[in-house]
A and B are shown apart, each in its own frame.
Chain A
Amino acid sequence: MNFSVNHPILFLIVGIIIFFVLAQSVFFLVKALKRAKELGMDTKKIRKIIISASIFTIAPAVAIVVSVIALAKDLGIALPWLRLSVVGSMSYETIAATNALSGMGLEFGKVAELNATQFVTIVFVMTISIMVGIWLVPVLCKKMKTGLVNMKKKDAKWLDIFQSAMFIGMISAFVGFVFCDFSGVFKGQTQGLIPVLVMAVSAVTMLICGALMKLTKARWINDYALPASLIIGMASAIPITSWLG
């Protein structure tokens, strides 16, 4: 069979794998919904959470489609479709493909059409290098969660603080990341201000939502505050970039 990066059989295999990725998510969703019902959790609240999680996901998911399109030029459509539907990212797949091709004495982006051997080599490197999380979660998840339960039994207040500290630790790393090009501002380069201003717009949107909720007592605003701050923040990047970029 003659190989092509867009051969229909590749789409068929990838389609089958993606079907199981979807099936796993649906399986856990159904089980969690059933458990929520058993626990007597408010159905309306659960429905609102499903709606806001869906809205919140749209913009980042569209950005993933942009990455699929960008990678499709060199890798075909089927492989980026698979890799970005499972654990992977634009930067990771590019690094893995670059390293695999470099090992064969080639340069990523400069191969007119990959042959089957090159394609398979790239897929092996991508797959093996990022497999850790998938098998390590089954090894560690129960042990770590049991450790947290024991911590709660010993000192419930400290567990609350511990978990807040984990969230804050992660958020602080991303706040720092937003300022990673900020030092250029001291030299008169304004591009480093773009992410800072976008973050500020998003933060202000969230504050406005919070104030509106308090003033109007409209609880529904809380359901859409996070998706709204994300989308308004992203939209603000367009004029801010044309101004400072």
Chain B
Amino acid sequence: MMKNNNSYIEKVYSWGNKWNIFMMILLLAFPFLVSIIFNTSPDWNGLFKGLVATAPMYWAVGVVEVITYIPMLGAGGSYLSFVTGNISNLKLPCALGALEQAGVSADSEEGEVISTIAIAVSSIVTTVIIIIGVLLIIPLQPILQSPILQPAFNQILPALFGGLGVVFISKNWKISIAPILLMLILFIFTGLGSGEVGIMVPVGVVFTIAISRIMYKKGWL
């Protein structure tokens, strides 16, 4: 059975590597194809300035996100999530909810399978809903952009992390107190804005691991 387990995870790495490299080539092919079809090339000056202003920040954030999220998403989930996006606001909460529902640990093989299923289903549903949205964009536009519904769409993250927070904080309350206090202080009193949450995720993760390690060594956990 152990050999079988290893061969499954090895296959996941192999499939994932091939798929992600293929998707990278496909995504990069889009601007090249548009250039060829419409017989144009990028504005090189604009491209250079645009990349200098955009890429370094997003590359840095991307590296930190990969290191932070791989242990939480599992192997299959990571390959899928870093292609389909919306990780912290959709894929990861979805995987966490599924692990909780199934009652399995993230580091077990069952956890790997469950998180892959949840993330794959979430990716498929998202892609299909966007396709429907694009097909029906004209009739849907006034409904989805109506001022009545806007507050609901503006508050997805608080609505998501309220429920998820109760589940995980109640189970791990000892290691939750310090990071939550730290984040409340940082966000309320130091002027951190909503745009900084992506940077604060790895800060929160590293801080919580450090605090947990100290508590574990002292025998408090």
A204 CB to closest chain B CB, in angstroms? Answer: 8
Contact A130 B114 (CB under 8 A): no
Q: Which residues of A contact B22 (CB under 8 A)?
A: 20
A135 to B208, CA, bound (A): 28
Of all chain B residues, the one with the shortest Cβ separation from A134 is B24
Q: Please determine whether B82 and A134 come into contact, CB atoms closer than 8 angstroms.
A: yes
Chain B residue, CB-CB nearest to A195: B158
Tell me the residues in window 72-131 of chain B with beta carbons closer than 8 Å to chain A beta carbons.
72, 75-76, 78-80, 82-86, 88-90, 92-94, 96-98, 100-102, 105-107, 109-110, 113-114, 116-131
Q: Is the CB of B125 within 8 A of A121?
A: no
Q: A53-B97, A57-B126, A86-B85 are in contact. Are A177 and B187 (CB under 8 A)?
A: yes
Contacting pair B67 A201 (CB below 8 A): no
Cα A53 to Cα B187 with chains together (Å): 30
Interface residue? A111 (CB, 8 A): no
Contact between chains at B96 and A167 (CB < 8 Å): yes
Per-position 1/0 for B15-47, Cβ under 8 A of A:
111011111101110110111011111110111
CB distance from A131 to the nearest CB of B (A): 6
Q: Which of B76, B86, B110 has the most CB of A within 10 A?
A: B86
A66 within 8 Å of B (CB atoms): yes
Check A101–B46 contact: CB distance below 8 A.
Answer: yes
Near B by CB (< 8 A), chain A positions 181-212 give 181-183, 194-196, 198-203, 205-207, 210
Residues of B within 8 A of A28 (CB): 15, 76, 79-80, 116, 119-120
Compute how far the CA of A160 lies from the CA of B213 in the bound complex, rounded to whole angstroms.
12
State which size class the interface on B falls in.
Answer: 35 or more
Q: Is the CB of B46 within 8 A of A103?
A: yes
Main secondary structure on A side of the interface with B: helix
Q: A3-B40, A59-B156, A69-B141 are in contact. Are A170 and B92 (CB under 8 A)?
A: yes
Contact residue range for chain A?
35 or more
Q: How far is the CA of A232 from the CA of B42 in the complex (A)?
A: 46
Q: Which residue of A lies closest to B142 (CB)?
A: A69
Give Cα A89 to B88, complex, Å: 12
Question: Smallest CB–CB gap between B211 and chain A, Å?
Answer: 8
Residue of B24, B53, B163, B187 with most partner-chain A CB within 10 A:
B163
**A62 CB within 8 Å of chain B:** yes
**Would you give the shortest CB distance from B11 to chain A, in whole angstroms?**
8
Task: Please give the distance in Å from A155's CB to the nearest CB on chain B.
Answer: 9
Name which residue of chain A comes closest to B171, CB basis.
A164
> Assuming the A-B contacts A20-B22, A198-B159, A205-B163, are A172 and B208 also in contact, with contact meaning beta carbons closer than 8 angstroms in the complex?
yes
Chain A residues closer than 8 Å to B88, beta-carbon distance: 170, 174
Asked if A75 lies at the interface with its beta carbon under 8 angstroms from chain B, I say no
A142 at the interface (CB under 8 A from B): yes
Whether the Cβ atoms of A173 and B72 lie closer than 8 Å is no
Q: Smallest Cβ distance from A129 to chain B, in angstroms?
A: 4
**Closest residue on chain B to residue A49 by CB atoms:** B98
Nearest-CB distance from A196 to chain B (Å)?
A: 7
Nearest to B98 among chain A residues (CB) is A49
Q: Are B205 and A169 in contact (CB under 8 A)?
A: yes
Contact A1 B46 (CB under 8 A): no
How far is A92 from B55 in the complex, measured between Cα atoms in Å? 11
Sorted from nearest, which 9 A-B pairs have the closest CB atoms? A202-B162, A176-B183, A233-B159, A229-B163, A103-B49, A132-B62, A65-B133, A169-B205, A87-B85
Known: A31-B11, A56-B97, A120-B34. 9 other contacts (CB 8 A): A28-B80, A35-B109, A64-B133, A160-B105, A163-B106, A174-B157, A201-B159, A229-B163, A234-B153
